[in-house]
Structure 1
Amino acid sequence: MEKYSSVEIVQENPSSPVFTLYLNRPLHSNALSLQFFTEFPKALSYLDNNPNVSVIVLSGKGKHFCAGIDLKSLTSLTADVQASSDRGRSGERLRRQIIFMQEAITAVERCRKPVIASIHGACIGGGVDIITACDIRYCTEDAFFSVKEVDLAITADLGSLQRLPAIVGYGNAMELALTGRTFSGSEAKSLGLVSKVFGCKADMEEGVGAIAEGIGAKSPLAVIGTKRVMLKSRDLTLNEGLDYVATWNSAMLLSNDLEEVLSAQLQKRKPSFSKL
C-alpha cells in the first residue's frame, strides 16, 4: 500500500471491512496542502478497489477535522497568475488547477463504497467542501463549522456552493456562505448537515464504528447501488430517477446476495456476502 504525507489509511480491526481514512497533518490542523489533492483521490481509489473494504470512515488526526486550505497553497496558486504578463493563459492554468482540486473532492462521490465523515473540532472552508461530498456525516459537540471562503475574498469553488444547498436548503446555504459565520455542531444537526451529535470524540468513534460495521454487514451490491442511485437521482427528475433505478436493478437485483438474504431468513441466521 502506498504511503502518503497528507492522509493515512488505517484498518482499526484486522477482521473488519471498515477502514479509516485520516486527514494527517495534525500540526497544521489538517489544513489542505497541494499534495493532498493528489494523494486524497489516490487513497480513495485504493480503498474503492480493495475487496476487503466495505465502508470508509473519514476522520482527522489531532485536535481538528480540517482547518481548510493551507494558506501557503493558496499563495502558490495565485502567484503564477499575478506574475504572468498574459492574463488569459495564466487564468486558464488557474482554471485547470481549480478543476483538478475539485476532482479530488468529487472522488468521494465517485468512490463506490460509502464514505462516512466523523468530524471533531474545526471543519472550515475546504473541510466543509469535503464533508458535503460524503454520504453520511456525524460530529462531536465541540465541532464547529464555517463556509469561510468569503472572508478570504474567495468564491468557494470546491463544491460547498453546489452540494450544501441540497443538504441544508438553499436559503440556509446562502446565509452560511455569504456571512462565513461559525456555527456549532448542534446547529449543524438542526440544519441537517450532520445526522447525529456525539458528546465527545471517543463516543463518536465508537458510535460511528458501530454504524459503519452495520452497513459493512449488508449486501455490498445493495450498498453501492443505493449510493449510486441516490447520487444520480439528485440530478434527475422523479421519472428519470425511477427509470435509472429500474435499469440499475435489472442488472443487479438477481444476485447471489438476494438468494443469500432469502436463505438466511429461512434459516434464521445472519447473511454472509462475498466481497466485492
Structure 2
Amino acid sequence: MTETQPFQITREGAVAHLRLSRPEASNALDMRFWAGLGPALKDLDATGEVRAMVLSGEGRNFCAGMDISVFTGGAIMGTDTAAERQAFHQAARDLQDALSMLERVRFPVIAAVQGACVGAGLDMIAACDLRLASAEAYFRIEEINIGMMADVGSLQRLPRLLPEGVVRELAYLGTSLTAGRAERLGFVNAVLPDADALQAAAIEMAQAIAAKAPLAISGSKAAITYARDHTVADGLEWAAVMQGSIWNTADILGAIQARATKSPARFADLKPYPKP
C-alpha cells in the first residue's frame, strides 16, 4: 500500500497552496512532516515567484496535532543522561525551527482552519500571518491534556496574538477556543460558514496579497515580525534601514499609475535565492 504523504504543495500563479494531506489521521503531524516542511518552504521562498501561500488541511479537521508515532517511534528520546537531554533539546529545536520557517519566508501565509486545530496544529497556525476559520473550527493547547507543556511555539506566540489571561486559560485547562470567540479576540481574521467558503476566502485573500508589490509585502512582513520582538525605537530604526534597502521607485510609480487608470498593477517578482 502506498503511504499517504504528509502534505501536498500546488501553485497557481504567484499563490502557493500547502495542504496537509492525511485526512484519515486528521492530518496529525508525523516525522515526515517535520523533516519536510522547512525544506519545502525554503524551496518555495527561493524561487522569488511565490507572493502568498494558503495553508489548509484536507478532510474534516485541520490538524489533530503531533502524530502518536513521534512519541512511540523513537523520535522523542529519553532524558535520563546528560547526553540524552542534550539530544532531546536539539530535537525540540528542530521541530521549532520547522514551524518558524512560516515566519521567515518572504511571503505571507494564510491558515484556513476547519474542525479541530489542536496541539502542534495550533503551534503551526500561530506562526502564520493570517488566520481564517470555518464556523465549527476550534483551537486547543492539547499538550496539557496529555501531561506535557507545549513547546513548539504556542506559549511563545499566542501571548502576542491573544490576551494573556486567555492564553493561560487554554494552557492550564486544556479547554477549546471556539472560532467565534477567537474572532472576537482578534486571533482569527474572519469566520466563514463552511469549509468551501473558507477555502474560497483564503484563496481570494492570497490572490489579493499577490497583486501587491512583493518587495513592499515582504518588507512589511519582516517589519511586523521584528517589531513584535523588539522595542518601538528598535523597530523604527530597523524599518528605516529596511525601507532604504527595498525602496523601489518603479513599483511605487507603477502602483500610482495603475490606481489612476483603474487598471491592474504589474510588479516584478522577488529575486530568487542562489542555490548552494
TM-score of Structure 1 vs Structure 2, range by shorter chain: over 0.9
Shift of 1:77: 4.5
Confirm or deny that 1:221 pairs with 2:215. yes
1:26 aligns with 2:20: no
Are residues 1:210 and 2:204 paired? yes
Q: Which amino acid aligns with 1:101?
A: L
CA contact (8 A) 1:32 1:68 kept: yes
Aligned residues: 267
2-structure distance, mates of 1:18, 1:254: 22
Identity among equivalent positions (%) equals: 34
CA offset at residue 5 of structure 1? 2.2
Does residue 131 (structure 1) correspond to residue 131 (structure 2)? The answer is: no
Contact residue 77 and residue 94 of structure 1 kept, 8 A: no
1:117-137 C-alpha deviation (Å, 9 max, x unpaired): 000011000000000000000
* Distance apart, 1:80 and its partner CA: 3.7
Secondary structure at 1:10 match in 2: strand
The TM-score with structure 1 as length reference comes to 0.92
Q: Distance in 2 between the 1:132 and 1:182 partners?
A: 15
Aligned partner of residue 168 in structure 1, secondary structure: coil
**Equivalent position SS for 1:203:** helix
Distance 1:231 1:212 in 2: 19
**Following superposition of structure 1 onto structure 2, how do residues 153-232 of structure 1 map, counting pairs within 5 Å?**
153-232=147-226
User: RMSD between aligned alpha carbons?
Assistant: 1.6
Q: Does 1:151 align with 2:148?
A: no
Shift of 1:268: 4.0
What amino acid is the match of 2:166?
A: N
Counterpart of 1:50 in structure 2 is 47
Q: Which runs of 5+ in 1 are unaligned?
A: none
Q: Distance in 1 between matches of 2:251 and 2:235?
A: 24
- Aligned counterpart, 1:7: 7
Alignment-mate amino acid for residue 126 of structure 1:
A
1:59-89 deviation digits (Å, cap 9, x = unpaired) = 001111100001121223576416xxx5111
Measure the CA separation in 2 of the matches of 1:179 and 1:191.
18
Q: Which amino acid aligns with 1:9?
A: I
Structure 1 residue 113: Cα displacement: 0.6
1:69 paired with 2:71, answer no
Runs of 4+, deviation exceeding 2 Å: 75-80, 262-270
- Structure 1 residue 266: deviation in Å? 4.3
TM-score normalized by the length of structure 2 = 0.92
Tell me if the contact between 2:130 and 2:188 (Cα under 8 Å) persists in the aligned partners: yes
Amino acid at match of 2:107: K
Once the 2 structures are TM-superposed, how far is the Cα of residue 6 of structure 1 from its aligned partner? 1.2
Q: Residues of 1 paired with 2:173 and 2:96: CA distance?
A: 23
Match of residue 88, structure 1, among 82, 85, 108: 82
Cα deviation code 1:79-109 (max 9, x no counterpart): 6416xxx511111111110101110010100
The structure-2 alpha-carbon separation of the partners of 1:270 and 1:80, relative to structure 1 and needing over 3 Å to count, comes to closer
- Is contact 2:96-2:152 (8 Å) kept? yes
Using the TM superposition, give the Cα deviation of residue 160 of structure 1 relative to its aligned residue in structure 2, in angstroms.
0.2
